[in-house]
Amino acid sequence: MKFGMLLLASSLLIGGCSSSQVENTTKSASGALGDAAITAQITTRLIAIDGDSALHVAVASNDGAVTLSGRAKSAAIAERFSAAAKSVSGVKSVASRVVVDSKLTPVTEQAKDAAIVTGVTGALIGQAGFNALSVKVHAHNGAVTLDGTVKTEALKSTIADAAKHAPGVKSVVDNLEVKS
């Protein structure tokens, strides 16, 4: 990394920059790299504490001043996140804007819901072809919601039936509107 900084400084000097401009650029690049390293270390520690909550927390660092923002499953987890951030070398301060969301969906459930949406979308296209492209599919814990418009009542029925028989679907809420 020091070689890279030396190369950057040399390039700037050759390009006609003053030594103070080179020094400022070198400090700026060094600070950005330091902040990136701090952010990476904190993110790794948050994942080790609680992977589900960590995916809902953004980490920002600017000259060692860290801001955590997002959602955690509990106040205890939010406090552990803040403590973990403070323990990283180079961190000067931590502002935590993490709020508690006890209903935070675990990553495994999010992955299951995404798989259901993919399966339902495939089933709809298989049954209704291009007509299914106007249908938005949402899933939460196996409950599927269909939103959008279709051209006929028969098409609406075909799409709802295809969704009901897709793998992992427990229930279907049909919000489709018929518009010719």
pLDDT for 118-175, tens place per residue?
Answer: 999 999 998 888 778 889 999 988 999 999 999 999 999 999 999 999 999 999 999 9
Range of the domain at 115: 107-178
- CA end-to-end distance (rounded Å), the chain: 63
Do residues 80 and 127 make contact, with C-beta atoms less than 8 angstroms apart?
no
Whole-number pLDDT of residue 33:
60
Report how far residue 120's alpha carbon sits from residue 89's, in angstroms, rounded to the nearest whole number. Answer: 47
Q: Is the model's pLDDT at 18 over the cut of 70?
A: no
Pairing relationship of beta strands 93-100 and 135-140 according to DSSP bridges: unpaired
Classify burial at 166, counting beta carbons within 10 Å of its beta carbon; exposed 0-12, middle 13-18, buried 19 or more. buried
Together in a domain, 95 and 117: no
Res. 19 pLDDT band, cuts 50 70 90: very low
Looking at the 3D structure of the chain, how many domains does it have?
A: 2
Together in a domain, 47 and 86: yes
Together in a domain, 54 and 30: yes
Q: 100, 117, 150: which is the final residue of a domain?
A: 100
Together in a domain, 121 and 143: yes
Q: 53, 77, 100: which is the final residue of a domain?
A: 100
Do residues 173 and 145 make contact, with C-beta atoms less than 8 angstroms apart?
yes
Together in a domain, 83 and 128: no
| Chain mean pLDDT for the chain | 84
Q: 75, 100, 125: which is the final residue of a domain?
A: 100
pTM over 0.75: no
Q: Is the model's pLDDT at 31 over the cut of 80?
A: no
Report how far residue 28's alpha carbon sits from residue 62's, in angstroms, rounded to the nearest whole number. Answer: 11
Residue 79 CA to its chain's centroid (Å): 21
Together in a domain, 39 and 119: no
Res. 14 pLDDT band, cuts 50 70 90: very low
Together in a domain, 52 and 79: yes
Together in a domain, 94 and 25: yes
Together in a domain, 25 and 96: yes
The CATH number of residue 53's host domain is 1.10.287
Q: For residue 102, which of 50, 45, 44 has the smallest C-alpha distance?
A: 50
Whole-number pLDDT of residue 20:
47
Together in a domain, 154 and 68: no
Least confident among 35-39, 64-68, 82-86, 106-110:
106-110
Helix (H, G, I), strand (E, B) or coil at 177: strand
The share of the chain scoring above pLDDT 90, in percent, equals 64
Together in a domain, 138 and 160: yes
Q: Is the model's pLDDT at 180 over the cut of 80?
A: no
Together in a domain, 94 and 7: yes
Do residues 42 and 54 make contact, with C-beta atoms less than 8 angstroms apart?
no
pLDDT in tens, 48-71: 999 889 989 999 999 999 999 999
Q: For residue 62, which of 94, 88, 106 has the smallest C-alpha distance?
A: 94
The CATH number of residue 135's host domain is 3.30.300.130
